[in-house]
Amino acid sequence: MQYEPVIGLEVHIEMLTRSKMFCACPVVDSTNAAPNTAVCPVCAGHPGTLPVINGQAVEFALRVAAALECELAPISIFARKNYFYPDLPKGYQITQYEQPLAENGKITLQTSKGEKLIRIRRVHLEEDTGKLTHVEENGHSFSLVDLNRAGVSLLEIVTEPDFRSAEQVRVYAESLRALVRYLGVNSGDLEKGVMRIEPNISVRPFGQDELGTKVEIKNLNSFRALERGVAYEINRHIELINSGGKVAQETVGWDENKQVTFSQRSKEDAHDYRYFPEPDLPPLLVSKHWMDDVRSALPELPWQRSQRFAQDYGLSATESWQLAAEKAAGEYFEAVLTSLVTSRPPNPAEVRTVYAWVTGELFALMNISGTGFDTLKIQPNALAELLKMIAAGQVNQNTGKAILVTMFASSQSAAQIVSEQGLSQVSDVQMITELVSAALAENPTEVANYRAGKTTVINFLFGQVMRKAGGKANPQVLRSELERLLQGN
């Protein structure tokens, strides 16, 4: 029997509003702020307090929903989801249930196997819960409660069960992360838990319409863990069914060390949340005017930019996504290109050069030092100037790389560095010929070997001449002079 994986995703995104969803408490970085320093009677759930809807949170939510091509609801309703647990001091979470902010959206994924359309079921607003830390000490176990996160505005994005592979799930998560960063809604830090992805996985025989029993994975804090966790569950379900077993509906966690899932909660533990409309809040009204404003203010979206790069510049899908996934990276790339090229559209060689330098040398320097585009000292036109000097033969490729390292640390221009350090490329044929002659005279054995047919020694001799030139010789001139003299012309 052949089985088809069926997966749907729930994603929670903490929004970068300055204050919480329903009160004036500041939103603090829960990984380093002192516990319980951003709490007030409203988010602590004191009787007699009243929540107020955060307008910025609604604006952010509308942006995401509009980018996902959802129908925006002119009226949406907040509801109480009741449960008793110390991470939620009120005894209930305010969320949207029957009438969410937005529904029926879609996103087209660019996967290695082509395009895949995923339907978005709903996008709704809610508040986050506090953080519990479970402690074992001297035979006692207890839990510490930090309410800094309780009440922070949260966006939940739920898809239809449209995914058919672990790769599709990863591409969706990466696309969504890029989107919320473009829109300024979230930092996309999976490790910090500000973006939380929960896949629901089932399998069914090919051709069957009815869904199989689903398992939900929690605590996935990287795209790698997400892809592997989903693949692991798909295999587990198929093996279980093939060996005569039945999948149990449950929630599992992902063990990063063992690369396996483990059971956390079974269906029997499911709550009855007794949802009802939140009596302390009015319906949320979004005018047509507001919706139109949000839609028309949307920037070029990451996947749109990626497609444009592929089309306009002839980059592969992977290459263009590498640049488009981060807004500032794509902008930097285009700025270098604009300042380098003389004609529009740029020729393919110019595009390849800029792509190679930005994603190769520059990204490497940025990664090693943890530098972002916001603090990068090399302006796009400064990199373009360096690339022009290389193209004009003023410095060679390797010297260019060394110059970039200096520019990265000092913010000096390429021209300044070249003149201060005397790095100009030597293209003078007579000077290079003299260096070649000297190197050949010093290495008679290699010259003899070359002439006896062992032509690969030319690389060694090339290195010797380049060393004499202090790395600055024009490599094309060097190679042709070397070949000429070796062949005795």
How far apart are alpha carbons 150 and 129 in whole angstroms? 4
- Measured from the CB of residue 234, what is the shortest distance to ligand ADP in angstroms? 11
Residue 171 CB, shortest distance to ligand ADP, in Å, is 16
**Residue 161 binds which of Zn ion, ligand ADP, none (CB < 5-8 A, kind-dependent):** ligand ADP
Instruction: Map residues 129-158 to x or -, x wherever contact with Zn ion holds by CB under 5 A.
Output: ------------------------------
Q: What span, in angstroms and rounded, lies between the C-alpha atoms of 195 and 180?
A: 10
Scored b (16 or more CB within 10 A) or e, 127-148 reads: bbbbbeeeeeeeeeeeeeebbb
- Which of 33, 44, 145, 158: binder of ligand ADP (CB under 6 A)? 158
DSSP 135-191: EEETTEEEEEEE-TTTT-EEEEEEE-S-B-SHHHHHHHHHHHHHHHHHTTS----TT
Q: For residues 5 and 51, which CB has a smaller minimum distance to ligand ADP in the complex?
A: 5
| Residue closer to Zn ion (CB basis): 47 or 488 | 47
The verdict on 315 binding ligand ADP (CB under 6 A) reads no
Residue 261 interacting entry, from ligand ADP, Zn ion, none, C-beta within 5 to 8 Å by type = none
What's the number of CA atoms in the CB half-sphere (13 Å) around residue 447?
17
The 8-class DSSP code of residue 20 comes to -
Whether 199 contacts 7, CB under 8 Å: yes
Looking at the Cβ atoms of 6 and 336, the one nearer to ligand ADP is 6
163 by DSSP, 3-state: which? strand
**Out of 132, 135, 211, 248, the residue judged to bind ligand ADP by CB under 6 A:** 211
Which region among 1-9, 90-98, 110-118, 451-459 touches ligand ADP (by CB under 6 A)? Answer: 1-9
Site string for ligand ADP, 5-44 (x = CB under 6 A): -xxxxx----------------------------------
Judged by CB, which is closer to Zn ion: 39, or 465? 39
What does 8 interact with, of Zn ion, ligand ADP, none (CB < 5 to 8 A by kind)? ligand ADP
Q: Residue ranges of the alpha helices (H) in 243-326?
A: 288-296, 302-313, 317-324
* Measured CA angle at 152 (ends 219, 127), to 5 deg: 80
Q: Which residue's C-beta sits nearest to ligand ADP?
A: 8
Coil, strand or helix at 398: helix
Distance separating alpha carbons of residues 67 and 149, to the nearest angstrom: 27
Say how many residues touch Zn ion, by CB under 5 A: 5
Q: Is the peptide bond before 205 cis (omega within 30 degrees of 0)?
A: no
Please count the residues of the chain.
489
Q: Which of 23, 284, 378, 383: binder of Zn ion (CB under 5 A)?
A: 23
Residue 160 binds which entry of Zn ion, ligand ADP, none, with Cβ cut-offs from 5 to 8 Å by kind? Answer: ligand ADP
Please say whether the beta carbons of 81 and 276 come within 8 A. Answer: no
Mode of pairing for the β-strands spanning 78-82 and 276-277: antiparallel
Nearest CB to Zn ion, comparing residues 48 and 488: 48
Stretch that binds Zn ion, among 4-12, 16-24, 59-67, 227-235 (CB under 5 A): 16-24
The span from the CA of 361 to the CA of 407, in Å, is 12
From 17, 54, 148, 159, residue interacting with ligand ADP (rule: CB under 6 A): 159
The CB-of-164 to ligand ADP minimum distance in angstroms stands at: 11
Rounded to whole angstroms, the Cα distance separating 283 from 79 reads 10
Return the residue of 76, 186, 200, 394 that touches ligand ADP, per CB under 6 A.
Answer: 200
Sole binder of ligand ADP in the list 51, 89, 105, 161 (CB under 6 A): 161
For residue 110, give the 3-state DSSP assignment: strand
> Does residue 179 contact residue 67 with C-beta atoms inside 8 Å?
yes
Say which DSSP state 269 is in.
G
Give the contact letters, 43-62, x = binds to Zn ion (CB under 5 A), - = no. x-------------------
Binding site for ligand ADP (CB under 6 A): 6-10, 158-161, 200-202, 211-212, 214
